[in-house]
Structure formats: structure tokens, C-alpha cells
Chains A and B, each alone.
Chain A
Amino acid sequence: MKRLTALVAATLALVLTACGSSENITPEANSSSANQPVSVTDARNKKVDLKAPATKVVGLEWEIIENLITLGVQPVGVADVKGYTAWVSAGKLDGSAKDVGTRGEASVDAIVALTPDLIITTTDESPATITQLEKAAPVLVIRGADAKNAIPQMKTNLELIAQAVGKTDQAKTALAEFDQKLAEGKQKIADAGKAGTPYTMADGYKQGSTISIRMYTSGSLLGAVTNELGLKNAWTAAGDPDYGLAQTDIEGLTKLKDGEFLYIANNGDGGDVFGGDLAKNAIWKNLPFVKSGNVHRLADGIWMFGGPKSTEQFIDATVQAVTS
């Protein structure tokens, strides 16, 4: 009982010494009155009204961060800065952004401490969390991915974000560059006589002797882009409704005919499954594209679920791999 009393007393003492207030309550200055009000209808069909284009933005998914940087806006808050730096090379953070926690459960305290003008998240976030964030700042919700509509969805996401931060011109330029890159890539592939070549896009990870392979169907962003480049996706089974990803094992690859096999690996995450671990596997060695040397590891740091800039990196890498 004595111990309990002591504990209570100690807790009370702690609480009392923490008295006072940590903020000066002053009316907030209206900093950007020069700009016009903005109204954006987001993926929830909800109108997001801003007094002026947002400048202090917090992003809770990596695609959003990349798009912000593409538009010339350095976000003030990023979910999982370390992971972003490792996985996304298309948009460089300048080091000023604060980490606001994990992508799954970002810290509301950290977000609000940044006093953002706008928070951008995806439809993967739970409605309750979005409601809560909305009390701190306007929230723009984009749909992370749509396997029925991958490329238009990626473009819509950039445009929505651009409207909210007042950078629609930059978005137009970026999308025009993207379309041009896509057309050039298509041309290069046609010039190389590779149009219509079957391809497979995959990534994989390993635990013990278990290798899980993730297939990018035509519904995935990278699958859709490769189709646009004039290649033909050899993996025809369906993936999940959002990201268009399917799972298989090494045996499942035997359904594939000759063609180009593209994959992404990351040295920070288990290394190169296809180039290393599968090298001695009898099925792998005898797959038609392995025999004919058409297996290509794309550069590290191409984010598979990113915006136009990541996708341009992917186009470059793919065109390079297929035409070389």
C-alpha cells in the first residue's frame, strides 16, 4: 500500500510540475491573402475548399510526396522519410520535411505540430482517421491506384494535387513530358522492331527457401505503361482490384512464353531474388526468356506505385532494357 501511495504521489507531482501552457494564444496571421481561393473535388467526391493554394503540405503516401516534389512543392511532413528515401528516387526531399510516423498509422500530433494548410492521403486510410484529420486541416483524398484505370488514375492524382497547391501549369508540363516520354519510348521500341513482344514485370522477396513472386498485371500502373509502350503483357491472370498485383511461385512462371522479363529489386530489401537466388533453379534456368538472356533488372529506386516521374524512370529503364 505504501508503494502505491508513493506512486500516486510521484505521478501527481509530475503532473503538477508540468503546469503552464505550451502555446501563446494569438490570432493566426493570414499569410497568403494574395492568392485566390481554391476548390478541388477529391476522390471521395467531396469539395475541398482552401482560402489559398496550400504551401505547407503533409503527405501520407509516397506517391503523394513524389507528386508534390514534381510540382515544385517540398512537403513539410512525410510519412516514413527513411523508407521514401530508400525506395523513391524520382523526387528528392531537400531534408526540410519532418517525419510524421509510419504510412499505416501516421502520428496526428506530429502532423498538427507542422500546422499544415493541407493534408493529402489516399482512400486506403480509414474514414474515421480522415474525419479526424479534417479537424486539423483540409484533407485531400486521392485514390492510390485503380486496376481498371491505372494511367488515368495516376494523372488525375497529379492534377488533383496540383489544383490544391496552385501548380496546375506545372502539372500540365509534367503530364505533357510524361506523354512525350511515353510516345518516344513507344517509338524507340517500334524502331527496334520490338513492338508486340510479350513481357513480364515482377518483383520478389525471399524468406528461407521460400520465394514469393509478385506479378504486375495489365491493371497495375507499370503493367499498363508497358502495354502503352507497345509490348504485350504475358501474365494474363487477374490481380487485386486496386494495385493490380498477383502472387505466384517459381512454378507459375512456366506458363510464360519467350519474351522480355523485367523486374525491380532493392538492395536494401533482401537483394536480387531473380538474379541471385534463382540462378541455380532448374525451372528458372530453363524458362525461355532466361535461356535467351532477356531478363532485365531495372535500376534501384524506381517506385512501383509512384507518379509520372517514377513512371518515366521506369519507361527509360524498360526501353533501355528491351532495345539494348
Chain B
Amino acid sequence: MKKKEMVAMLLAGGQGKRLKGLTKSIAKPAVYFGGTYRIIDFPLSNCTNSGIDTVGVLTQYEPLVLSSYIGIGSDWDLNRKNGGVFVLPPHEREDGSNWYRGTADAIYRNLKFVDQFDPEHVLILSGDHIYKMNYNAMLQYHLERKADCTISVIDVPLEEASRFGILNTEEDLKIYEFEEKPSKPKSTLASMGVYIFKWDVLRRALLDDGEESHSSHDFGKDIIPSLLSKGKAMYAYPFEGYWRDVGTVASLWEANMDLLSDNPPLNLNDPSWRIFTRNPNQPAQYVAPGAKVSGSLINEGCIVRGEVKHSVLFYGVEIGEGSVITDSVIMPKVKIGKNVRIHKAIISENTVIEDYMEIGTDRENEDEILLIDNRSKKRKSVPAKTI
């Protein structure tokens, strides 16, 4: 194998329990987003657009959909002779078989995979964030500072800072302390879960950590604090664009809604930074006479006869006459009958909503986002509960 400057390792093994029914049979990175994408399209497209052509995708929970979705990677231009995309599930080894015990352990168990490319640097990514980021610019920053580790950070409001891993830095952004979800945060620089390590430094740290019996084998909890304590050169890389963790039903819904303003903070129409995805190849969407569509994102293969307001429709959705959909996310191939009302809900893939159903129109808790699939369809004219 030809030597690579940087190899990306994408952590995609998590179940994402807080996404409830959406991750019942697929891993979190395979969850749908933005009318046509899956969450993992964002880090994969960022790699392609940043010129990174070698990506290991670490899977564990329900890998089938994810690995068949990625395939040979041609949709992200990652079908390469030298490099490309590799799906890396846990595997049996001479010393036994184990599931990945943590984020760091997943990389530790794939040392041989990374070693074959003999990279200078390794980029660690997670598969549950929506953002567009040039990892190559981050690598240049990492190189300029001769850093052992560079962590991408985003400035968050102080009151939210305790939900994140917070980095405390010197003025030159050199990190002196990392606190996982601190109750009294000292700074507002939150880790985005995007790390660049010098491979030899990380390799050594992973080998040490692998031996450690009471380690949780996690980047945030173990590897980064341990490297800090050893006095390694670690810097924060400030990122200023749009970034959302879509780990909960509410945050997934909000991030979808963010796409709907007239000037959305995340531009999906930028030809210089396309988000690639597996194309379902559907005919053009049909908006019938009498239909009304506004403030919405609608994919091909949809047939709209009713009213769609401030909502996201994935491919192959049909909406019957007289139906009104507001503030909702409708996933692929959902069939919605006539005179249906849906407000502030996520309807999961392949769900059929019968005529005259009302979902979320009479809710007690305005903040709650209803998640509906075929199992919850029998509720008529009553707010269906989140499942």
C-alpha cells in the first residue's frame, strides 16, 4: 500500500438509543436526515470533499443497512484502487473475540488496518453529527502547530456547555484540561468529536490503554486525559460553521427544521461542497393542482395533493387530498391518506397513515416531537405518544 498522509476512522457502531424507534433496526449513522440523506453522508462527504480517500467505518450495532448502504463507496467517490472505504465490524482474533468496548477500543482493534497505510496522521470522526467541514484545513492547522493531537471545537452557549466534553485552553488554544460534561464549565469550547492524532502518538496510547483493565477505552474519558497528563502538544481547532448533534428525536427534528428557512444555516445546494448520498433514482416529484407547498424540502418520487408547510419529505412520499402536514419530517415511502392532519411529528419509513387520522394536532406537550411508525397507526384523532 502506498503511504497515506492521513487516514480517517469513522465511529459508526453506536445504537443511538435516544433516537428510539428510529434506531430499532439500524445504527444511528444510517438514520435518515434532510429529505434524502443519512447522517453518515455528512462525514463521508466531508472526507471526499477534503481529499481524504481512505476511510475505515467501524460498525457494531445492526451493521447490515449501513454496510450495504456504503457498498463499495462509489457514491462518495471512495471506490479507489489504493485506499477507499472499508467497513470494519468487530472480529475474532487469536486472543479471543470481543465486541468493541469503547471508541478507543474500536480503533485499537483495527491497528493493523491503519498500519497498512502507514499514515502520518489519523482523523477520528463520529457518525452522528450534521456539519460540513474541511478536514484538510484542520490538518494544515495541526501541522502548523506541530501538534500531537488537534481537537475540533465549537463555541456553545454557556448554559448548554455541561452537555458536552469541554476543553480548557491557553490563549493560543493549547489545551490544558479536558472535562467530560462538567457541572461547572470553565469554558464554552465543546469538543465536536473530530480529532486528528499523529498516528505514532495515538498508536502508543492505544496500546497502553488496551492493557489497562479499568479503562473504559473511550477517547474522551481515557485517551485524551491520558495524553494531556503526559504533556503532549494538544490544540483546539475552532470551527465556526453549522454543527448539530442529532442524537435525540428532538435534536434530529430541529436539525431538519433548520434546513427550511429561506437562508438555511446549512447550505445543501453548494456545488463546491456537495453532500453525496445513495440515489434512490425516483421520477420527479409531482405537485398536483390544488396542492400547496411552502417553506419545505421535498425529494423526488413524492406525490403531493394536499398541503405541506414547513416540513421535510423524503423520497416516494404520497400525500392525499385535503391533508395538511406542518412542522414534520416524513421519511421515505410513507403513504398519507386524505384529510389527514400531522403536526410536529416524525413519521418513520414505510408507514401508512389512514384517511382522517390526526397526529399531534391536539397535543398537551408542545415541545414533544411525536415519532410514528406502522405500530402506532391505530390511534385516531388522538395524539399518538412517542414510541
A, B: real partners = no
B residues touching A (Cβ–Cβ < 8 Å)? none
A residues touching B (Cβ–Cβ < 8 Å)? none
